[in-house]
Amino acid sequence: METIAPTRFAENSGLIIVGLNRKYPSGKESEIPQLWYDFVPRIESIPHYVPGVTYGVCTSFDPQHGLEYLAGVQVISIGELPEGMEALHLPPRRYAVFTHHGHYSLLPQTFDAIWKQWGPESGNADPAAPSFERYNEEFNPETGMGGTEVWIPLTSDKVG
């Protein structure tokens, strides 16, 4: 098995993410791309959004019950939310940042390696706090490649 390690450690100074949120029972995570298909055409309807970067935030995960996932964008302030959208506040905290290489459909394998290998070995991953995918300007939604990071919350400021 290839060893997985963070690319860097970073501070999130606090984010407000607005988007579509859905719950996925265990085994239904393959339906998340449909959430993105529903969300992306509506981005421009979100007041005060920061262009160029999108976020996929996992706010809760339980292997037996599934996960809750929000596809969204950062906003500088919360305006009137478009119908069906929610605002999520991510408080300031420290993260381990991993670069995802390959097609976005392989993200579950990256998360699996992080949570089963790096998390237990580091003793510093916080599975109770939201983790997120950050898709920057280099991400190409048509090819599903490039510009993807996985941000894992840490339990402390220690690195490793």
pLDDT score at 108: 87
Q: What pLDDT score was predicted for residue 4?
A: 87
Residue 5 C-alpha from the chain's centroid: 17
Radius of gyration of the chain (CA): 15
Determine the pLDDT at residue 2.
60
Determine the pLDDT at residue 143: 87
DSSP 8-class letter at 109: H
Rounded distance, CA 137 to CA 146, Å? 9
pLDDT attached to residue 27: 86
Cα 98 to Cα 100: distance, rounded to the nearest angstrom = 6
- Which is nearest to 22 in space by CA: 56, 63, 47, 62? 56
Strand locations in 25-119, DSSP E? 54-62, 66-74, 86-90, 93-100
pLDDT tens digits along 115-140: 999 999 999 999 889 999 999 999 98
- What's the pLDDT score for residue 63? 73
The pLDDT assigned to 110 comes to 93
pLDDT under 50 in the chain at which residues? 1, 160
Of 21, 46, 41, 45, nearest to 32 by C-alpha is 21
Fold of 8-153: Multidrug-efflux Transporter 1 Regulator Bmrr; Chain A (3.20.80)
Give the up-direction half-sphere exposure of residue 147: CA atoms within 13 A in the CB hemisphere: 14
- Sign, CA dihedral 117-62-123-9, equals positive
Structure-token match 């070995």, residue found = 121
- Per-residue pLDDT tens digits for 79-98: 899 999 999 999 999 999 99
The pair of three-digit structure tokens given for residue 2, joined into one six-digit string = 């290839």
